[in-house]
Structure 1
Amino acid sequence: MSSTMKAAVYHGPRDIRIEQVPVPEPRADEVLVAVRRSGICGTDATEWATGPVMVPLHQRHPASGHLGPMIPGHEFVGEVVDGHGELPTGTFVAAGAGVWCGRCDRCALGRTNICRAYYTLGLNAPGGLAEYVAVPTRTLRRLPDGLSFDEAAMAQPLAVGLHAARRAGVRDGESVVIIGAGAIGTFVFAGLSHLHHAEVTVIDLPGAKLERAAKLGANHTLSARDDVVDRVLENTRGRGADVVIEASGAPGQFETALRMVTTGGRVLAVGLPKEKPIVDLFALTLREVTVDSTVAHVCDEDLGPALEILSEGTLGPLLLHSVIGLDDLVDLGLEPLANGQIDGKIVVTPSGTNA
């Protein structure tokens, strides 16, 4: 194996360069993974277009210790090349990417996603948009037999959706509205379907996203161009939805979620709005509505089940947009994603091969 590798390196807004860099040397708790696929998402596109937001380009990250230009990519799968213990050489793995300490008070509660020393490979430390990446073994899970690399690359964001579905507090038989049927909304819906039997309404603009939601089993799909609050109230006999999950981050949608939830219901914030929402605390308080939030995933709870869901073979083909090479990362990946031209997941092959 060569001592250098091909990698995408983030130097600042709209400045990602494909470079030759040293192959990382794993620490005692890590293995070296040859990356077969690395997905990109809206967070990557935002970092490229207007960042740095999370990349520690100018200030050292307190947990990872990284400072300066960095390899992005937090949705990756690959093959262990210097394995040991339960992950011998040749094992195919998916990475959770989030790293927790296991010693703080949050970790003691099982909430490893909000560990006091949490950091994410590809956002706060070198990640998977490279031929190789050093990965803490506790963040890796074996790929199920027969699951393709293209689909397995969706395991990390699906784990995020699964965690969000857990945080929503849905009970069997309840009415649930998901606002936003893009990739993250779809992953939340898939996680919800895995956990509960609920009556689910999905809201988005007319077109492929709502068609995909219907194929995945949504009970109702509503056009965001209609008066969706009235439609939800009509479908719930005037009560409102038991749970509303706002997964779009679009302007005004969090307020819309609050208007369509039932008295005593729950609203879960998933999408990250660019503008601060206006919240009617008076109405919120009088109706005793619970507002909650979610971030990342709990690796031990969510990554394995995410791989199981993908192994069913339904979700991946519906979400996969394209597979591109590392040299095309900006032109065919980050730029159209940042411009809102992509509906689905783009997967990168850092090694330049589709094997």
Structure 2
Amino acid sequence: MKAVVLHAAGDIRIEERPEPPAPGRGEVRLRVTRAGLCGTDVSEYTAGPMMTPLKTRHPNSGVLGPVVLGHEFIGVVDSGGESFAVGDRVAAGAGVWCENCSWCRRGQTNLCESYWTYGLSADGGLTQQITVPEAMLHPIAPHVADDNAALAQPVAVGLHAVDRSRVRPGDVVVVHGAGAIGSFVIAGLKAAGAGVIIAVDIDDGRLETAAKLGADVTVDASSTDPLEVVRELTGSALADVTVEASGVPDGLSRVQRLTRRGGTVLLVGLPKGEVSFTANDLILREIDVMTTVAHVCDQNLPAALALLAERDLASLLVERVVPLDRVVEDAFMPLAGGTARGKFLVNPRELS
């Protein structure tokens, strides 16, 4: 079978790989029908290894690369399984947890002490078949198209972020950075009943998409100070929740000035440099600073699939579906070059 294999930064190859092993107890083998690409995949391609174990064996998965990428994937059950039948369509959470450590017992499976991820810590879903644990799979509703269902994992990440933000119905929320993860957070905030969602970015296309996803107000920060917009909407109260999803080094300082006394700042984007902020202001105005990573599979993945059963997010977010053997030229290169305008999906069953 063919797979998309990362060997080093700038070195991705379409290779023949052996078929995955027959499923053992608690496992199923999937025929992958769609896989999504995200910023992490692109970072591994342009500057890796950052998360993939290409030089050092991963301590939890035990894998030493090269690595098949792809941590956003769906498929059809091909064999094995106790909870699913052959032919069932399922979405994968990609993360693997132990169920026994103190974090798992608290329900924080995304923080499991032995957590690892298909497509980053071990061979993932940018291939034609894969054997995975049943525990990380959830069923896809029959009427949900593959392109839409393929967004389940990143939507789950967005929903976990919304949970961590502690947003309440009616809250005024600012999302700073309306790129990939920011878009999924906006969709989650809309579903959670946020009062007014303000999307801030410097890209007109992203802001247009944000409005379609549910942002009530969009702000081009290259020409307008977001603080002026927030004050106009709230008076001196400012925003109840601010979400920093851009990853810029001064992102925290940018959003804290938009946050009301007693409000919440949620950090989503991963900065590449040191983060700057004014601690005294956070303390004296008693602003909570929260963080978020990945998702809690059993909670957030079913919620994501339920949201996708109600909304066709693919029509708003997916730019193109590419064949497996064209993924470098038609997906990784435009994403790395900054010319992509939306989400890229891969159809492993299609070859050019």
Shorter-normalised TM range: over 0.9
AA paired with 1:90? Answer: G
Hey, what's the Cα distance between the residues in 1 that align with 2:171 and 2:56?
Answer: 46
Matches within 5 A, 1:286-305: 286-305=284-303
The equivalent of 2:348 in structure 1 is 350
AA paired with 1:278? Answer: S
**Seq. identity, %:** 47
Matches within 5 A, 1:226-241: 226-241=224-239
Corresponding position: 1:38 with 2:25: no
Superposed CA deviations along residues 291-326 of structure 1, whole A, max 9, x for unmatched, are 110000001111111111112233221011100011
TM-score by length of 1: 0.95
The equivalent of 2:134 in structure 1 is 137
Hey, what's the Cα distance between the residues in 1 that align with 2:147 and 2:260?
Answer: 40
Corresponding position: 1:28 with 2:25: yes
The equivalent of 2:185 in structure 1 is 188
Hey, what's the Cα distance between the residues in 2 that align with 1:215 and 1:28?
Answer: 44
SS in 2 for 1:300: helix
SS in 1 for 2:31: strand
The equivalent of 1:10 in structure 2 is 6
The equivalent of 2:169 in structure 1 is 172
8 Å Cα contact 1:244-1:261 kept in structure 2: yes
Corresponding position: 1:125 with 2:122: yes
Superposed CA deviations along residues 207-236 of structure 1, whole A, max 9, x for unmatched, are 221112222232211111111122212221
In structure 2, which of residues 88, 94, 106 is the aligned counterpart of residue 91 of structure 1? 88
TM-score by length of 2: 0.96
The equivalent of 1:210 in structure 2 is 207
The equivalent of 2:321 in structure 1 is 323
Superposed CA deviations along residues 313-345 of structure 1, whole A, max 9, x for unmatched, are 332210111000112111111121122222321
SS in 2 for 1:22: coil
The equivalent of 1:199 in structure 2 is 196
Hey, what's the Cα distance between the residues in 2 that align with 1:275 and 1:121?
Answer: 27
The equivalent of 1:61 in structure 2 is 58
RMSD over aligned CA atoms reads 1.4
The equivalent of 1:108 in structure 2 is 105
AA paired with 2:18? Answer: P
In structure 2, which of residues 8, 15, 33 is the aligned counterpart of residue 19 of structure 1? 15
Superposed CA deviations along residues 12-68 of structure 1, whole A, max 9, x for unmatched, are 101111111111113322111111110000000000100011101111111111112
AA paired with 2:195? Answer: A
Hey, what's the Cα distance between the residues in 2 that align with 1:94 and 1:171?
Answer: 28
Hey, what's the Cα distance between the residues in 1 that align with 2:212 and 2:7?
Answer: 41
Q: CA deviation at 1:163?
A: 0.4
The equivalent of 1:332 in structure 2 is 330
Q: CA deviation at 1:353?
A: 6.3
SS in 2 for 1:81: strand
SS in 2 for 1:65: coil
Q: CA deviation at 1:135?
A: 0.9
8 Å Cα contact 1:324-1:347 kept in structure 2: yes
SS in 1 for 2:81: coil
SS in 2 for 1:327: helix
Q: CA deviation at 1:184?
A: 0.9
Hey, what's the Cα distance between the residues in 1 that align with 2:108 and 2:285?
Answer: 29
Give the number of aligned pairs.
350
SS in 1 for 2:328: helix
In structure 2, which of residues 140, 155, 177 is the aligned counterpart of residue 158 of structure 1? 155
8 Å Cα contact 1:83-1:90 kept in structure 2: no
Superposed CA deviations along residues 61-83 of structure 1, whole A, max 9, x for unmatched, are 11111112110100001111113
8 Å Cα contact 2:7-2:13 kept in structure 1: yes
SS in 1 for 2:80: coil
SS in 2 for 1:192: helix
Q: CA deviation at 1:206?
A: 4.5
SS in 2 for 1:19: strand
